[in-house]
Amino acid sequence: MGSHRRLAPSGSDRGASRPLSVLSAAAAALGALTAVPASAAPHDDTRAEVDRLYEEAEHATEAFNKADERVGVLRRAVGDAQDRVARQQGRINDLRERLGSLAGAQYRSGGLDPSLALLFSDDPEDYLAKASVLDRITAHQAGELGELQDAMRALAQERAETAHTLAELEKSRKAVAGHKRTVERKLARARRMLNALPFAERAAFDRASRSGRFPMPDLAGAVPASGRAAAALAAARSALGKPYVWGANGPSGFDCSGLMQWSYAQAGVALPRTSQAQAHAGRSVPLSQARPGDIVTYRSDASHVGMYAGNGQVIHAPYPGAAVRYDPVGMMPVSSVTRP
């Protein structure tokens, strides 16, 4: 989720000189059109609080994405483990059946001490031949029994590991639900605060954040670093105007990292789901050497991400209510630039 709090160049002091936010810019734009009475000043606090809530919701969104990705990995692991358990159980059943057949044959052939059986046998040579076969059966049975015991130990271990994975899956599911509640709570509060603003200020904010106009910045001379970067950038441009949807990775809506993942997927490159992981999904380059298609992450915790488009512009999914759009690369402090 792209917070719009900071629109200062990269590296700006976050404490001494607070960068202008999109909300503040919206208010400034409104001021240029109409006179805002002095009584509207307290609403600056409301706009600052909305900024803060959007940023915190973005952190929770990336945590949600991470937990949701973990759930997917664990589900696949559980499915694979259950298949292995089923195959191992089938093997054990086969071994037991074979051992039962051998034991039955041995029981039917035995019953007397071997020396007495030989003494009373009408055909000693035939008995000796049978005894030789019986010895071989016994040895084979011992081997089968050992194999059965090994298989049962392996099955017990597999079941224990599956149970552990299932417990991790349930834990991750709860984490997903918790992060989802956090995001929804913060976004609902931000929306309530925006709705409480005077109509003129709310309308100005909506015009600033929901404008359907996406003028093409001057990107002359901007050359992507590779063919896949060019394809990813083309995909990101095709998403201009699509709505921000938290937790979504396209094609009808996106959050910030979802847009990066989807765009590079169109270029045949698999990126991780979260902005934090995407910051390490390639070679790090200085901002001064950024080329179109590079991934730009923001804030010290890499909680927001966009794609460098060239000439100081990025394409990103900013925040709820704002569509995918171009913005200056220095809209907030840059933490890294990565070339997938």
Active site residues: 256, 304, 316
- Measured distance CA(244)–CA(325) in Å, rounded: 10
The CA–CA distances, whole Å, from 112 to 16, 106, 227, 307 equal 99, 12, 83, 85
Given a contact cutoff of 8 angstroms between Cβ atoms, the answer to whether 212 and 323 are in contact is yes
- Please calculate the CA angle 318-64-261 and round it to the nearest 5 degrees: 55
Given a contact cutoff of 8 angstroms between Cβ atoms, the answer to whether 22 and 4 are in contact is yes
Sign of dihedral through CA atoms 137, 142, 145, 147? negative
Assess whether the previous peptide bond of 251 is cis (omega < 30° from 0): yes
DSSP-derived secondary structure for 154-195: HHHHHHHHHHHHHHHHHHHHHHHHHHHHHHHHHHHHHHHHHH
The CA–CA distances, whole Å, from 327 to 217, 279, 330 equal 9, 19, 8
